[in-house]
Amino acid sequence: QAADSKREQFRQYLEKSGVLDVLTKVLVALYEEPEKPNSALDFLKHHLGASAPENPELEALRLEVAEMKEKYEAMLEENKKLKTKVKVY
């Protein structure tokens, strides 16, 4: 009975989060395909967005992170030089 309770809780969780609706829609789309794809898994991945092109905003954030890392490294180097100068005085 405990297993059934956990299973029901998990089902409710999936339903509340919208996972069941999305999966149902994708499976219906696969069912309605006139010519079934060679790979049902690839079809699901494509329609669930797993293979969707990257979000441009995400790419911009990656670029910003890379720039910040460069600035951080430059600051560390400058800090090291300044510490050396302080030791001299």
Q: How far is CA 29 from CA 24, 32, 41, 47, 52, in A?
A: 9, 5, 13, 9, 17
Residue 2's pLDDT band (cuts 50, 70, 90): confident
Q: What is the mean pLDDT of residues 15-27?
A: 92
Residue spans of the domains in the chain: they are 1-53, 54-88
> How do residues 35-88 score in pLDDT, each as one tens digit?
999 999 989 888 887 655 567 788 888 899 999 999 999 999 999 999 999 998
Q: Give the pLDDT confidence of 30-43 residue by residue, as tens digits.
A: 999 999 999 999 89
Could you tell me where the DSSP H helices lie in the chain? 2-17, 19-32, 40-48, 56-88
Q: Residue 45: what pLDDT?
A: 86
